[in-house]
Amino acid sequence: MRKIFSLALVAALFQFGSVSAQTPAYPAKQVRFIVPFGAGGGVDIFSRTLAQRMREQSGYTIVVENIPGADGNIGADLVAKAPADGYTVLMSAVTLQIINSALQPKLPYDLVRDFAPISLGTTAPLFLAVHHALPAKDFKEFTALAKARAGKLSYGSSGTGSSLHLGGVMLDKATGNETLHIPYKGGGPLMLDLIGGHIDYAWQLLGVMQSSVDSGKVRLLGVAALKRYPSMPNVPTMAEQGLPGFEAETVYGIMVPKATPRAVQEKLNADVVKALESPDVKKKFLEQGMESFPSTPEAFANYLQTNIAKYTKIVRESGIKKD
């Protein structure tokens, strides 16, 4: 019996070793980072910076794929329906996708039901930028000008329902003014018209307009954050200028299909957080107007819950309708 037991144990160990060899640890193959927007934008910059660091530090083989369309919904839906194995990852424009959920109740995916949050990635506050010739040297003068030109002072956004649009909606509500919204098909055309003086102001990411700020083509009047931005310490927050608690930001994050094994989620989170916390990545993000914002999956889930409620309320109260 002892001999039979020994043989059985050896067989079991051999079988276990064979199974282990057939199921190598994650990642065992190429990981796809799906960017649901075109190349060169904020999500793309975030994704490629993160992918490069993860290749260097943890040996990942990562390919970044741009799958634009429908305000990020085509790429997001692709990931939602992908195999739940951790090899298809959504590089989420979290703020926009939360707003999409509020504006478009019939999306082909559900942000909470269909995705497992891995980690928040970066946060980028929006800056209030005006054309250099606008006769408003600070926010107080800007508010007075908006009141004097009721309904005529114009601002641009990267599209109806974008975070840039909601920044304008929130500002109008906070100041009691009415300004004219001009939607564009992306941040590039918006910036061209702001520089050219065809619109008066915009909420925009610093990384998108840094060169225009440096050249004096646009002027910054405030940042929609609770603290001043490190690389722009002379730009006051909106709270400092009479709008307590005024925040408007763009947040990026990492998500996978909901049924992805917990062990894979934990491994991916650990490696993402390690990359986001590395000094060189932090520096690169700051240069692009972003700050590293790593988190636990639970903190990301809480962020989603809080901000879905926040933006749904803003959308409902403002009456915004998707084009």
Greatest mean pLDDT range, 44-48, 68-72, 284-288, 299-303: 299-303
By C-alpha distance, which of 250, 294, 303, 203 is closest to 72?
A: 250
Mean pLDDT of the chain: 89
User: CA 194 to CA 235: how far, in whole Å?
Assistant: 19
- Mean pLDDT for 146-150 is 96
Q: Quick one: pLDDT at residue 48?
A: 95
Q: Is the pLDDT of residue 320 over 90?
A: no
Q: Is the pLDDT of residue 70 over 90?
A: no
Higher pLDDT: 219 or 311? It is 219
Render pLDDT for 18-31 as a digit per residue (tens, 0 to 9): 433 444 689 999 99
CATH 3.90.1150.10 fits 31-124+250-318, yes or no: no
- Mean pLDDT for 31-43 is 88
By C-alpha distance, which of 71, 105, 64 is closest to 254?
A: 64
Render pLDDT for 97-107 as a digit per residue (tens, 0 to 9): 998 888 888 89
List the domain boundaries for the chain.
31-124+250-318, 125-241
Stated length of the chain: 323
Greatest mean pLDDT range, 20-24, 176-180, 288-292: 176-180
Higher pLDDT: 83 or 185? It is 83
Q: Is the pLDDT of residue 9 over 70?
A: no
Between 125-139, 182-196, 214-228, the lowest mean confidence (pLDDT) is in 182-196
Contact criterion met (CB below 8 Å) for 251 and 308:
no
- Listing DSSP states for 89-155 in one string gives EEEEEHHHHHHHHHH-TT-SS-TTTSEEEEEEEEEEEEEEEEETTSS-SSHHHHHHHHHHTTTT-EE
Q: Quick one: pLDDT at residue 119?
A: 98
Q: Quick one: pLDDT at residue 142?
A: 98
Render pLDDT for 208-234 as a digit per residue (tens, 0 to 9): 898 999 999 999 999 999 899 988 999
Q: Quick one: pLDDT at residue 207?
A: 85
Q: Quick one: pLDDT at residue 323?
A: 62
Q: Is the pLDDT of residue 162 over 90?
A: no
Q: Is the pLDDT of residue 10 over 80?
A: no
User: CA 76 to CA 43: how far, in whole Å?
Assistant: 13
Q: Is the pLDDT of residue 83 over 80?
A: yes
Q: Quick one: pLDDT at residue 161?
A: 83
**CATH class of the structural domain 125-241:** alpha beta
Higher pLDDT: 18 or 309? It is 309
User: Do 31-124+250-318 and 125-241 fold alike per CATH?
Assistant: yes
To 5 degrees, how large is the angle CA 189–CA 204–CA 227? Answer: 170
